[in-house]
Amino acid sequence: YPLLGRKLIADVTVLDVERYKRQRLGAPYQPNPKAPAKATTAATVNREVALIKAMLAKAVRWGLLAPRGPNPSHPLHDVALLAEDNARSPELSAEAEARLLAECNPRLRAIVTFLLHSARRVGEALELRWGAVDLRGGNMAVELFKKRVRRTEVFALNATARAALAAVQPPGDGDPDPAALVFCTSSGLPYANIRRDFRIAARRAGLPTLRIHDLRH
pLDDT at 197: 93
pLDDT tens string 157-203: 999 999 999 999 988 777 889 999 999 988 889 988 899 999 999 99
Maximum Cα–Cα distance across the chain: 74
> Cβ–Cβ contacts within 10 Å for residue 164, how many?
23
Residues 6+ apart with CB under 8 A from 107: 168, 183, 185, 186, 191
Q: Which of the residue ranges 113-122, 134-143, 166-175, 187-196 would you say has the lowest mean pLDDT?
A: 166-175
pTM: 0.61
79-99 average pLDDT score:
80
The strand pairing partners of 141, in sequence order, are 154
How many angstroms separate the first and last alpha carbons of the chain? Answer: 36
Best CA proximity match to 215, nearest among 86, 96, 84: 96
Assign 90 a pLDDT band (cuts: 50, 70, 90).
low
Radius of gyration, CA atoms only, the chain: 24
Alpha-carbon torsion (161, 162, 163, 166), positive or negative: positive
Quote the pLDDT of residue 160: 94
Q: Name the more confident of 183 and 73.
A: 183
DSSP assignment string, 80-102: PPPP----------HHHHHHHHH
Residue 1: which pLDDT band, with cuts at 50, 70 and 90? Answer: low
At 23-65, the pLDDT tens digits run: 988 888 877 776 677 888 888 899 999 998 888 888 888 988 8
What would the mean pLDDT of 85-89 be, rounded to a whole number? Answer: 60
Q: What's the mean pLDDT in 69-75?
A: 69
Computed over every residue of the chain, the mean pLDDT equals: 86
